[in-house]
């Protein structure tokens, strides 16, 4: 299980991003495990991202957006960031 980012865990920005990832994933009918695989990210890390517990890096965000067949800008708009 990944350790949450202690300084930023549950920050409203991370929660909004995680919610956007989850909504986009569910709209596409993709399981969390499949999205993690497509993005090259560990499933438990993906779970933590969706719950707002990780201050993920830019490349991870890009990989997730690509795995959702979205531009990162679209995912950020979905998160209202």
Contacts of 43 (CB under 8 A, 6+ apart): 32, 33, 36, 37
Which pLDDT score is estimated for 1?
A: 67
Give the helix, strand, coil percentages of the chain, each rounded to 5. 60, 0, 40
pLDDT at position 6 is 79
pTM confidence score: 0.93
Q: In whole angstroms, how far apart are CA 75 and each of 4, 32, 34, 78, 80?
A: 22, 16, 18, 5, 9
**Where do the domains of the chain lie, and which CATH numbers do they carry?**
12-76 (1.10.260.40)
10-residue mean pLDDT series, the chain (81 residues): 80 97 98 98 96 95 98 98 95
pLDDT of residue 5: 75
């Amino acid at each position: 299980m990944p350790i949450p980012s202690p300084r930023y865990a549950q920050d409203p920005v991370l929660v909004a991003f995680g919610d956007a990832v989850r909504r986009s994933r569910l709209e596409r009918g993709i399981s969390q495990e499949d999205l993690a695989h497509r993005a090259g990210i560990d499933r438990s890390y993906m779970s933590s991202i969706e719950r707002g517990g990780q201050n993920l890096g830019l490349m991870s965000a890009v990989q997730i957006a690509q795995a959702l067949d979205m531009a990162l800008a679209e995912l950020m708009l979905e998160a209202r960031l």
